[in-house]
């Protein structure tokens, strides 16, 4: 078996099992951890299919930001398992409907692949190892983004910086009644005025 086919089936099986664990576990923290595993496996599938940019963006955005945010929120809320009472019989119709839609999309994609022909030839898998010396889509997007659209890229970074500063300013609460340490006055003090020696007499 080709190594690309083996990795494709490996990532697919692990993504399917991890997605089943996400909806099957009762512990919310474990569900989020398996959701991160699903994202990593899907990123591996995108990398095998040649979409390197979407693969790395999936890891950076979803795993690095959203999934970690879910994990912190779940851990801070400390959701109890006993407080959740959901009847499984009410979830069967929704799950069956979603499964039917996804299964129909799965078989329709295979039917479309059989009909598509490119230059009167059927589609075939290309080994990603042999395409290592070619120009990847990340390099192409980087060259276009940092040359033709560099002004828009800098404006987006400036907007994000202003938004971050605005959020920090809005969330800071200045209290007037709190005594604060004045380091400038402490450093400018004179030792002779601070330390005072007192001679004590012995009482008889």
Q: What is the pTM for the complete model shown?
A: 0.54
Q: Rounded CA gap, 168 and 146, in Å?
A: 29
- On whether both 68 and 13 belong to a single domain, the answer is yes
Q: Which pLDDT score, from 0 to 100, does residue 162 have? A: 93
pLDDT, position 137: 76
Is 201 part of any domain?
A: no
- We report the CATH number of the domain holding residue 97 as 1.20.120.1200
Per-residue confidence (pLDDT) for residue 161, from 0 to 100: 92
**Please, are residues 41 and 14 in contact by the beta-carbon 8 Å criterion?**
yes
Buried b / exposed e along 98-130 (16+ C-beta atoms within 10 A): eeeeeeeeeeeeeeeeeeeeeeeeeeeeeeeee
Rounded Cα gap, residues 166 and 187, in angstroms: 33
Same domain, yes or no: 106 and 167: no
CB 57, CB 142: distance < 8 Å: no
Question: Do 61 and 126 belong to one domain?
Answer: yes
The total domain count for the chain is 2
Q: Where are the alpha helices (DSSP H) in the chain?
A: 3-24, 28-48, 52-57, 68-77, 92-115, 137-147, 150-171, 183-187, 191-194
9 plus 106 within the same structural domain: yes
Please name the residues in contact with 15: beta carbons below 8 A apart, sequence gap of 6 or more. 38, 41, 42, 45
Q: Are residues 128 and 143 in the same domain?
A: no
Q: What is the pLDDT of residue 77?
A: 73
DSSP string, 112-147: HHHH-EETTEE-----TTTTTTSPPHHHHHHHHHHH
Q: Is 40 among the domain residues?
A: yes
Mean pLDDT per 10-residue segment, the chain (204 residues)? 81 89 82 88 86 84 82 72 60 81 76 51 57 72 84 90 86 70 78 72 66
Domain that holds residue 162: 135-172
Q: Is 22 helix (H, G, I), strand (E, B) or coil?
A: helix
Domain check: are 163 and 63 in the same one? Answer: no
């Amino acid at each position: 078996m080709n190594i690309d086919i083996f990795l494709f089936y490996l990532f697919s099986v692990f993504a399917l099992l991890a997605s089943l664990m996400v909806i099957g576990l009762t512990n919310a923290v474990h569900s989020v951890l398996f959701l991160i595993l699903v994202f990593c496996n899907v990123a591996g599938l995108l990398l095998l299919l040649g979409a390197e940019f979407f693969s790395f963006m999936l890891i950076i955005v979803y795993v690095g930001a959203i999934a970690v945010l879910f994990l912190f929120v779940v851990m801070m809320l400390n959701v109890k398992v006993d407080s959740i009472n959901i009847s499984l019989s009410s979830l069967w119709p929704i799950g069956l409907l979603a499964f039917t839609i996804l299964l129909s999309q799965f078989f329709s994609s295979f039917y479309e692949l059989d009909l598509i022909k490119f230059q009167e030839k059927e589609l075939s898998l290309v080994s990603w190892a042999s395409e290592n010396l070619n120009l990847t889509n990340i390099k192409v997007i980087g060259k276009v983004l940092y040359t033709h659209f560099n002004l828009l890229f800098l404006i987006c970074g400036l907007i994000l910086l202003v938004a971050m500063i605005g959020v920090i300013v809005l969330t800071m609460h200045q209290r007037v009644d709190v005594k604060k340490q004045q380091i400038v006055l402490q450093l400018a003090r004179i030792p002779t005025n601070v330390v005072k020696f007192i001679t004590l007499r012995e009482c008889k």
